[in-house]
Chains A and B, each alone.
Chain A
Amino acid sequence: MALSVDIEKRLGGFHLAVRFETGNETLALLGASGCGKSVTLRCVAGIMTPDEGRIVLDGVTLYDSAAGIDLPPQRRRTGYLFQQYALFPNMTVRQNIAAVIRDRTRRRERTEELLRRFRLEDAAGLRPGQISGGQQQRAALARILAAEPRAILLDEPLSALDSFLRRQLELELAEALASFSGTVLWVSHDQGEVFRNCSRVCVLDHGRSQEVCGTEELFRRPETEAAARLSGCENFADVLPSGAAVKVPGWGLTLECGRPVPETIRRAGIRARHLLPAEPGAKNAFPCRAERVIQDVSSAIVLLRPEAAAPGAPLLRMELDRALWAALPEQTNLTVSVDPEKIMLLREP
């Protein structure tokens, strides 16, 4: 029971080439906007046709350009959760759900069961325009499950929401998906959402998919710059390998990495959270000048220029708890350090 996708599609000047396999788990398709995540999802659902390739879901070939197979979306059994939910506005919640239940004899009973399960009894007689965003999401999920899908596809399900509602709906969504036994594809550009909800992740960068990896792995040690960026890493620089260290000409530094650096490495990344005011005797300590301080809600973001930096090099971003920053005696000329283990060595994709 699994989904395997290997497709290519050209859209104007954009070339999408995506390949991944996944079992009965929640796989994230993580990428910046415009990287082809939604197109991939639409190709799986059959509402868009790839130029070539193969899509197989639970042993059923949905699409195979070589064999001339292209199942209509109706026969693919993929539940697609649209960002705006796409509930039929001219029908009540109950009618929306009942309409997609195939087995007419059990339609009534199944509908009521789903309404109960998704706590929609009070909204059942109302139209989508008359219910809250949370109820709309639940109604859309109930409707998807009513169609008994083999896979559920989520197209940036939480992107259009404000942060409070978003957290609430994220919990509800996770709860609803927990009882689903098939494959879930979760398209997102938000690393936190992916980290909290998905077991594995496939990074998409400019239409190219990278190798699927565990979510933890992506955040602990991303392999490419695109993956590092999507996992929230802020500082990047060109580097030259030098044994167990890298030279960073832009910042005028040599940073120990605590492990041999492969000769092919040309870029490195450091998370803002991993830069810290240096303790005495810390490794990778270097003097900096704080060029700017931005007070965020719970942290201070400090933009640093290493003293040996080349002119025009991008500033380093350091993020500290506000209290920690406020307690620092010297806030202009300070020495910071980074744990060698935390330096991300990035290869070309």
Chain B
Amino acid sequence: MDWYPLYNSIRIAAVSTAVVFFLGLLAAYFIAKLPRPVKGVLDVVLTLPLVLPPTVTGWLLLMLLGPRRPLGAWVQSAFGLRLVMVWWSAVFAAVVVAFPLMYRTARGAFESFDETLAEAGQTLGLSNSWIFWRVRMPCCRQGILAGTVLAFARTLGEYGATSMIAGYTPGRTATISTTVYQLWRTGDDAGALRWVLVNIALSAVFLLALNLLEARRRTGRKGGGG
């Protein structure tokens, strides 16, 4: 059995989650501070990929990144890089689709953060970045962790936009989800079943790890007293 789809899926999910983590946090941090009407508009724009069908997102991405489209053509000529039909094309799809999950959960966490903590830090001479990483982030840890988990799960299972922008090339762009579809389409139900089982195992391991993490944090907090 060729394990490439498993490797590729995990690689795409890991890279996309890392990108979404920082982009989502940044967006959440700055948008949480904006006045209400501006926030409303940006909220709609940034959450749109969550409610759009993945094929619509995929088509829009192709229109932007395709080799004969403005951005795709420019990158091709300037850096000699193809943006579609390679393994990291799937990263674009996964990032766009998973971004709203991270953004919305992190923003919720930031909005419930007690701003007087940040203000106190400022008057005490602590830099804004210190306050962000040492106070705001730890205080919002729960929401941020939840957002990251949701984003990772979403990127791992991404199919629609991925199949459009990265296609299915065995050994190059194949992921678990595209492989299952391809095997079923060609009537190879046994092959499809193998990958379905792999996917179920992967998801179970992921959820188990998450529960362990949760349990350890809870006991850790209890152990601290309070």
Give me the interface of A with B, judged by CB distance under 8 Å.
Answer: 42, 45-47, 72-80, 82, 84, 86-91, 99-100, 102, 126-127, 129-130, 143-144, 146-147
Given contacts A90-B135, A126-B225, A127-B226, 16 further A-B contacts (CB under 8 A): A42-B119, A73-B119, A73-B123, A74-B122, A74-B123, A74-B127, A79-B124, A82-B119, A86-B120, A87-B120, A88-B117, A88-B134, A89-B117, A102-B125, A130-B224, A147-B125
Contact B116 A86 (CB under 8 A): yes
Q: Which residues of A contact B123 (CB under 8 A)?
A: 45-47, 73-74, 76, 78-80, 147
CA distance A146 to B120 in the complex (A): 13
B121: Cβ under 8 A from any A Cβ: yes
Quote the shortest CB–CB distance from A60 to chain B (angstroms).
Answer: 14
* Interfacial residues, chain B to chain A (CB-CB below 8 A): 114, 116-117, 119-127, 130, 134-135, 138-139, 224-226
- Judge whether B119 and A47 touch: CB under 8 Å: yes
Given contacts A74-B126, A100-B126, contact A90 B120 (CB under 8 A): no
Contact A100:B122 (CB < 8 A) given known A86-B114, A90-B138, A130-B226: no
**B48 to A: closest C-beta gap in Å:** 33
State in angstroms the CA–CA spacing of A73 and B116 once bound together. 13
Report the minimum CB–CB distance from A104 to chain B (whole Å): 13
19 chain-A/chain-B pairs, Cβ below 8 angstroms: A73-B119, A73-B122, A74-B126, A74-B127, A75-B125, A79-B123, A80-B119, A80-B120, A86-B120, A88-B121, A90-B134, A99-B130, A126-B225, A127-B224, A127-B226, A129-B226, A130-B225, A143-B124, A144-B124
Which A residues are in CB contact (< 8 Å) with B119? 42, 45, 47, 73, 80, 82, 86
Using CB atoms, name the residue of chain B closest to A92: B224
- Output the least CB separation between B27 and chain A (Å): 23
CB–CB A147/B124 < 8 A: yes
Q: Which residues of B contact A47 (CB under 8 A)?
A: 119, 122-123
For the complex, give the distance between the alpha carbons of A121 and B37 in Å: 49
